[in-house]
Chain A
Amino acid sequence: MMQKPQRPFMNDMMGNFPIGMAYVPMQQAPVLYENLEEAFNRGTIFPELDKPFMGKRGRR
């Protein structure tokens, strides 16, 4: 019998989603930048969404 392939990135939740679709987790009660001018310069009012694309793995 063929061994079940290991899927280290999948947790139990993942089994409930249909395959082939992308999902974005909802924001839950986010905080805002205290300094709105900083938010303006960062491109988002939410620090938790401040994720600049660097063209490589997430490093600041």
Chain B
Amino acid sequence: MNQNMTEKRRMLMDISVLDFTTTDLREYLDTHPFDTDAISYFHRYNKMLHQVTKEYTAKFGPLRQDMPGNCMDEWKWATSPMPWEGGAC
């Protein structure tokens, strides 16, 4: 496994973990809307999630169609490899 692939997998794992964490916190906050600790945890991890997703998108292409990255020359969502072609895995 080359260095690039290792970094890609590590970043995908970080995104998975942070996405899961913020989802679980959102579910908790649905029933505990005044838990200030949970609110600050949510903001901390949500910021990290957006940061690492932005970095991943710039390096390896978009993971979500609504976060297509900054490239103005081509639509990376359409031109990046599909999951079965080695994209995003």
Contact = CB atoms under 8 A, between A and B. Distances in A.
B17 interface: yes
A26 B34 CA distance: 14
Interface residues of B, number: 15
B35 A29 contact: yes
Interface in A6-40: 26-27, 29-30, 32, 36-37, 39-40
Interface in B1-58: 13, 16-18, 20-21, 24-25, 28, 31-32, 35, 37, 41, 45
Interface of A: 26-27, 29-30, 32, 36-37, 39-40, 44-46
Interface of B: 13, 16-18, 20-21, 24-25, 28, 31-32, 35, 37, 41, 45
